[in-house]
Every structure is written in C-alpha cells, then in structure tokens.
Structure 1
Amino acid sequence: MHWLTDLLAAIGVVLNGIPQGIMAMSLGFAIFPTLFSFIFASAVNGVFGAVAPLSFQAESLALTGKLGRDLRERTSIIFGGSVIMLVIGVTGTLTKIVDILGNNIMAGMMAGVGIMLAKIALSLAQDQRLAGGLSITIAILVYLLTKDLVWTIVVSVIGSSLAAVFGQHYRAELPAHVTARRFVFTKPQVNVRVIRGALSLACLNIGANISYGLITGQMTGQKPNPVNLNLLTGTQAIADMGTSLLGGAPVEAIISATGSAPEPVVAGIMMMLLMAAVLAFGWLGKLGKYVPSASIAGFLLILGVAVIFPANAATALHGANGTVAAITLVVTAIADPFAGLLSGAVLKFVLPLLGLGV
C-alpha cells in the first residue's frame, strides 16, 4: 500500500500549492506554460532519483511581484535569476557561497524575507479588507490550533474566498493570457529594476534551495542527506528559464511533505505530474476566478512571522557576526534580499580591515 501513502502525500502538497498558483495568476503569470517546469523537474527527479520536488513558492512570487512592475519585467527577473542560478548550479558554488558568507548572514537574509512576506500580507489585507482581513484572522486561529501549514492555507483561503464570493459577489475576470492554453514567447528586457530583481531572486533561491532542499531531504530519514543541492539548483534554473520565456510563473524548491512518504522520489514525481495536470486542464484558472489575491494574506503572514522568521532570526543572531547578520536582516526586510546579502558581505569583510569588531 506504499503507493497510496505516496499518492496522499502528493495530493497534500498539490493542495498546498494551488493557492500559491492562484497568487501567480494574480500577478499576471500565464499558467499553462508553467506545466513545462513541472514536467521537466519530474523527469529530472526520475532519472537521477532526486527527492526534492519543485512547486509554486510564495516567497519567490511575492518578491517578483514586488520588484517587477508588469509581466514582462517579472518574467525578465525570473529569466535573469535563473541564468545566475544555472551558473551556480553547474559550477557547484552554492555551498561555497554559504561557506564564504556564513550561515548566520544567510539566515539573516531569510529572516528578512520573513518580515517582507508579513509586510506584503498586511498590504494585501489593506487593499481587500474583507478577504485579506478574514484570511489573516482565520490563518492565525488555525495555525495556533494545529501548527500545520497545510490546514492553515487551505482553511484560510477557502474561508476568505467564500466570504468574498457570497458577501461581495466576488468574481475576477482574469486576463486572457493568464488562462490561455497556449505558448507565447515573452522577450526578456534589461533595466535597472530587472537586474536588481534578478540578483535578489537569485539570493533568495540560494537560501531557499539550501534550507528547503535539505529539510525535505531530512524528512526521508536517509543518511547522508539525499538531496544533491547542485542538481536541485540546476533543475530549478532550467525550469524557470524555459517557463519565463513563455510568460509562465517561477517554480522553486519547497519544503515538501513527499519527503516523508515511503517512496519520496515517487511521491515527489506524482506531485509534480498532478500539478501539471491541474494546469493542463485549466482547473487552476477556473478556481482563480473565485479566489481573491488577498485570500493568501493569512498564509503569507504565518509563513513569514511564525515559520521563516523565528528559526532564521535565532540562527542569525547567535554566535559570531551577529551584528552583521542583524543588519542583513533589516536591510533585506526594508529593501530586498540582494541588498541585504550585499550589505552583510561588505560589513563582514570591510569592518575587520578597519579594526572594528562585528
């Protein structure tokens, strides 16, 4: 009966990813082309026996939506970030970057991302008071009762969406390109916002690939950790590169419950193929008409404040370079991950040259 347990784990992760897929639609990303990423990643995991799957990730979507003003800028940010990550994956420099900067500075950046997500959640709630406010209220209550992110996102999204549909007769008219079942080439552009956004997305993915990838690997119980970070980084980069050229949404490393399934590789592949089917048959687009973008506000707030921030902030502020890590955290929260990591790197190596302690 292992296959049934694998399937249930896969379905759970798909349910977790659907609201974030709806978030991708609210940012103008085309959904149909994104199935390329899921099919490609499932093939790679099958060939190499990789346990870490890819899916929609709230952090990368929120960051891309914040830094890109329109669809072309957002897909250009994804393309640029994927080029950077491909170089990092191919050359095997992912862990070297962390070794140079230090775990606490990387953790400071991730903790800053947690605050950034909370700020985005509150902004969504201000724009759509009923859906956003109710989503946050439900998410807080459900998480306090269950400590379970899947229940938190499912109940808060469904509850706030039902309130918007029946209370405000909400029904969104999504742009044609978002739900169209076709591939349309989107030419990348280069400007200051795109370059900064690509660097920020790459910085976020460096931290996410290491932390989320290794956590999924730890869930398998196998030693040593079965996650190949260079393979994960290269897979994610190529998937995003192809999808972004077609106007699709980014898919990144996630903490996946499939890691705890009896056959984690099979469960991860099942999850990605199921998500590809959801996109291919247009089911996500149909759901998206009745789900306000602010319905994910509660999940973003809990993810940022209760999940990402505490553990990473504790790591960041513990031990050497605590002050630099704290500055990295604040700059990331105020600006973006690239500015945060850049400030941390400069302070770590420049202050000792000036005879100043960190």
Structure 2
Amino acid sequence: MHWFADIMAALGVVLNGIPQGIMALGLGFAVFPTTFSFLLVSGINFAFNSVAPVSFQAESLALTGNLGKNTREYTSIIFGGSVIMLIIGLTGTLTKIVQVFGNQIITAMMAGVGVMLAKIALNMSKDRSWTGWVSIAVAVITYLLSKDLVWTICLSVILSSLFAVFVEHYQNELPQNVTVRRFIFTKPLFNLRILRGALGLACLNIGANLSYGLITGQMTGIKPNPVNLNLLTSSQALADMGTSLLGGAPVETIISATASAPEPVIAGVLMMLIMAVILFAGWLPKIGKYVPSSSIAGFLLVLGLFVTFPENAATALAGKEQLAAATTMVITALVDPFTGLLAGGVMKFVLPLLGL
C-alpha cells in the first residue's frame, strides 16, 4: 500500500499549493509557463534522488508583489533573484553565507519576513472589501483549533471564496496574459527597485532553502539529512529563470508532506507532475475566476504571525547577538530581507569593534 500513501501525500501538497497558485494569478503571473518549472525540477529530483520538491510559495509571491509595481517588474525581480541563487547553488556558497552572517541573523531575517507577511495580509484585507477579513477569521480559528496548515488554507480559501461569490457576487475576468496557454517571451527590465527586489528575494530564498529544505529532509527520518542544498538551490533557480522569461510564476522550496511518505522521492515527483498537469490543462485560471486573491489573506497572516515569526524570533533572540538580530528583524519587516540582512551583518561586525 506504499503507492496509496505516496499518492495521498502528493495530493495533500497539491491541495496546499493551489490557493497559492491562485495568489500568483492575482499578481498577474501566467501560470501555464510554470508547467516548465514543475517538469524540470521533478526530472532533476528523480535523477538525483532528491526528496525536496518545489511549489508555489506564499512568502516569495507576497514579497515580490510588495517590492514590484507591475507584472513585468515582478518577473524581472524573479529573474534577477534566480540568477543570484543559481550562482550561489553552483558555487556551493549557501553554507558559507550562513557562516558569515550566523544562524541568529538568518533566523532574524525569516522572523522579519513573518511580520511582513502579516502586514501584507492586513493590507490585502483592507483593500478588498470583507472577503479578506472572513479569510483571516476562518484561518485563525481553524489554525488555533487544528494546528494544521493544510486545513487552515483549505477552509479559509474555500469559505471566504464562497462568501465572495454568493454574498459579494464576485467574479473576476482574468487578463489574457494570465490565461493564455502558450509561451510569450518577457524581456527582463532593470532598475534600482528591481535590483533591490532581486536581492531581497534571493535573501528570502537563502533562509527558506536552509530552513524549509532541511525540515523537509528531517521529515524523511533518514540520517544524515538527505537534502542536498546546492542541488535544491540550483534546480529551483533554473526553474525560476526559465519561467520568468516566459512571464510565469515562481516556484520555491516548501515544507512538503511528501517527505513523510513511504517513498519520499516518488511522492515529491508525483506531486510536481500533478501540478504540471493542472497548469498545462488550464484548470487553475478557471478556478481563479471565482477565488479572489484576498482569500489567501488568512493563510498569509497565520503563516507569518503564528508559524514563521515565533520559532525564528525565539532562535534569533536566544544567543549573544541579540541587538544585531533585533535590527535584522525590524528592518526586514519594514523594508525588505536584503536590507535587513545587510543591516544585521553590519551590526554583527561593528558592535564588537565598539566594545558592545
């Protein structure tokens, strides 16, 4: 019965990814080209026996939407971030970056991202009538009762979408670039805002690959940890680089329940292949017509405030470099992950010189 457990684990992660894919639609990303990303990484994972899959990730989508001004800038930010991450992955410098900044600064940055996600969720709700508030209420209640993110995202998205359709009479005609089922080359732009966004997205992915990737590896119960961080970083970067040039949505590292399946590699590959079929067939935009982007607000708030922030903040503030960690956390939340990481790194090296 191993195959049945593998399938159920894959379907559970697909169910978790669909609402975040709808969030990508709301930002104006074409999801058809993202088929390429899922096929590429599934092939790499199968070939190299990697247990860490990729999928739509709320954190990276929210950060990209917050730092860019339109879809063209979003895809340019993703392309720039993927170039940075590919260099990091191919040169194997991910662990060296952590050694330079230290675990406290990295986890402080992730805690700041948690606050940023909560802020985005609240702004999303203020701008989009009552649907976002319904999503937040359902998500908070569900998570407090179940402590389960899959139930949280499913119930909050479904119930808030039903409210939007039947109470607020919501129906969204998605733009053509979102629903078109062909590849359209999108030339990247470059300006200081895009550079800042690319650096911020790369910093987020450094933290996410370390934390989410290693957690996924730990879920397998295999020792030593079976996740190859350099392979994970390189494959994710290649996927994002290709899909961003076609106007597609990014895929990033996630904490995946497929790692706890009897055959974690097969389950992860199966999950990505199912997502590829959903995107290739054009089913996601059809669902997205009736699911407002604000329906994801509840999940973003819970993910940021209840999941990402507490654990990372506790780790960040537990060591000796509390002032540098606190600086990283606050500036990340107020500005972006790159600025927060840079500020924390400066504090880490300057404060001892001042005898503090």
The two structures share one fold, judged by TM-score above 0.5: yes
Matches within 5 A, 1:1-358: 1-353=1-353, 355-357=354-356
Between the aligned partners of 2:67 and 2:306, the Cα distance in structure 1 is: 24
Distance 1:86 1:320 in 2: 32
**SS at the partner of 1:129?**
coil
Provide the TM-score with structure 1 as the length reference.
Answer: 0.99
Note the C-alpha offset of 1:81: 0.3
d(CA) in 2 for partners of 1:154 and 1:243? 27
2-side partners of 1:250 and 1:350: how far apart?
36
Q: Which runs of 4+ in 1 moved over 2 A?
A: none
Q: Deviations over 1:299-355 (max 9, x none)?
A: 0000000000000000000112111001100000000000000001111112222x2
**Inter-partner Cα distance in structure 1 for 2:36 and 2:23:** 18
Q: Which amino acid aligns with 1:40?
A: L
Tell me which amino acid in the other structure corresponds to 2:168. Q
The Cα offsets for residues 70-123 of structure 1, whole Å up to 9 and x where unpaired, read as 111110100000000000000000011001101010000000000000000001
Shift of the alpha carbon at 1:228? Answer: 0.2
2:265 is aligned with what amino acid? Answer: V
Distance 2:136 2:75 in 1: 29
Q: How big is each residue's C-alpha offset from its partner over 1:133-181, in whole Å with a ceiling of 9 and x where there is no partner?
A: 0000000110011000000000000000000100011000100010110
When the two structures are superposed, what TM-score results if normalisation uses the length of structure 2?
0.99
The SS at the match of 1:351 is helix
**Partner amino acid, structure 2, of 1:71:** T
RMSD of Structure 2 on Structure 1 (CA): 0.6
- Paired-residue identity, %: 69
- Aligned-pair CA distance for 1:130: 1.5
* One-letter amino acid of the structure 1 residue matched with residue 105 of structure 2: I
Q: Aligned partners of 2:337, 2:355: CA distance in 1, in Å? A: 25
SS of 2:227's partner is coil
- Distance in 2 between residues matched to 1:27 and 1:46, nearest whole Å: 31
Partner amino acid, structure 2, of 1:166 = F
CA distance in 2 between partners of 1:95 and 1:287 (Å) = 40
Q: Structure 2: how far apart are the matches of 1:160 and 1:167?
A: 10
The letter of the residue matching 2:37 is: S
Separation in 2, partners of 1:322, 1:225 = 29
SS of residue paired to 1:225: coil
Distance in 1 between residues matched to 2:106 and 2:158, nearest whole Å: 34
Query: Structure 1: where are the runs of 5+ without partners?
Result: none
Cα distance in 2 for residues equivalent to 1:227 and 1:204: 18
